[in-house]
Amino acid sequence: MNVTYELSKKLGGYVEWFVTSPIGSRLGQTEHNSDGGFFYHVTNNLQLDIEAGVGLNGPAPDFFAGAGFCARF
């Protein structure tokens, strides 16, 4: 589930909840996570983003953060 907010024409933010569930693994456990972040449209074809989040159950990581970009060709 994802909720996105447009803060300006180029800047937006989001919060989301997601689940990672391994398939075919007897040792893997389902992880529930929540995170939020911001994205910035540099151009119509390039977006930069940052995120930070927390795990919501035991198997999930306590905290995570990341940054990335998306390019349309």
Is residue 60's pLDDT more than 90? yes
What is the per-residue pLDDT for 44? 94
Q: What CA dihedral angle connects 23, 57, 36 and 66, to 10 degrees? A: -60
Containing domain of residue 17, as a range? 2-71
Looking at the chain, the whole-number percentage of residues with pLDDT higher than 70 is 100
Calpha distance 17→38 (Å, rounded): 15
> What is the pLDDT, as a whole number, of residue 25?
76
What is the average pLDDT score of the chain?
A: 95
Burial 2-15 (b: 16+ CB within 10 A, else e): eeeeeeeeeebeee
pTM: 0.80
- Kindly report, residue by residue over 9-43, the tens digit of the pLDDT: 999 999 999 999 988 877 889 999 999 999 999 99
Q: How many domains does the chain have?
A: 1
